[in-house]
Amino acid sequence: MTTSPPNTAANNPVKGILWMIATGLCFVAVTALVKTLGERIPAAQSAFLRYVIGLVFLIPVWRELVAVRLTGRQKKLFALRGVVHSLGVILWFYAMTRIPIAEVTAMNYLNPVYVTILAVFVLGETLALRRALAVAAALVGALIILRPGFRELDPGHIAMLGTALFFAGSYLIAKIMSGELRASVVVALLSITVTIGLAPFALAVWVTPSFADLVVLAAVACFATAGHYTMTLAFAAAPVTVTQPVTFLQLMWSVLLGVLFFAEPVDPWVILGGVVIMASVIFITWREAVLRKVHRTPTVNETKG
């Protein structure tokens, strides 16, 4: 297997866009499959079973994982990430049983916005005026979706706000660890720690799943893993400023899926709010790319962190 020249990684926008489209389809499939489970299986148990089944995908990196020697600091960070990500996953599975697919997808766009905010407090990064305005616009987009005071909010909406926040914390820890360990190790340790973190929550509400439910959860694990893999390929093929806007297609597909298979009405406010959030995320992504070029000497080895 040959390695492509480093500088070609960001020079194939068509390939990057196609891989990101595939990523969106995989993640929409995950959302739809979880939606079909409804409330037959508690959210914590569904999440736990999805991660247990997904452990099979760690087999190729098992030897590499065993050989890793973590420092005490790294162990604490991975444990913290496991707890934070576990809570986010439980809330996401719960939200899927409560609110329309389109709303879950639109509110998921808040993740990078929360990452930007947390980076200021945790990593000491500065938030320039233009990025601060983009963050504010994204929060306005969330208010457009939720419309508090104009409609009754479901617990699923609150769960999604928590999901985005917990996932942002998880991604921020991943950002720290990505500079110290291989990506495969970071992903593998997340799967293991989240499985462990979900176990007590799942056991507390355990019900016996049917074979059909296990098949659905196995499909969820497959599509989720495939989505993360194709997303990695997309980032390798083109700059994130090219691939990020493509993620907006997920909202369109989610709306269509909700209408055709789950009898969920189209809510123009959700679409508008999603557009506002997505536009803010695209601007933040673009500004970060510009700042990296300004404050760093360009090299032929540019990669996304």
**268-295 and 129-146 helices cross at what angle (nearest 10)?**
160
Q: Which parts of the chain fold into alpha helices (H)?
A: 13-37, 43-54, 62-67, 72-96, 101-108, 111-122, 129-146, 155-178, 183-204, 211-237, 240-243, 249-261, 268-295
| Cα gap 224→55, rounded to integer Å | 12
Q: What is the pTM of this model?
A: 0.81
User: Rounded to the nearest 5 degrees, what angle is found at the Cα of 65, between the Cα atoms of 64 and 68?
Assistant: 90
- Report the C-alpha dihedral over residues 86, 16, 2, 64, rounded to 10 degrees: 0
Domain borders along the chain are 6-295
| Cα gap 219→216, rounded to integer Å | 5
Per-residue pLDDT of the chain (305 residues; tens, 9 = 90+): 333 444 444 578 888 889 989 999 998 999 889 988 888 899 999 999 999 998 998 888 888 888 888 899 999 999 999 999 999 999 999 999 899 999 999 998 888 888 888 888 887 877 778 888 988 999 999 999 999 878 888 999 999 999 999 999 998 888 888 778 887 788 889 899 999 999 999 999 999 999 999 999 999 999 988 888 888 788 778 877 778 788 888 888 899 999 988 889 999 999 999 999 999 988 888 877 776 665 443 333 333 33
| Cα gap 47→161, rounded to integer Å | 18
DSSP single-letter state for residue 40: S
182 token code pair: 């291989």
| Cα gap 238→288, rounded to integer Å | 15
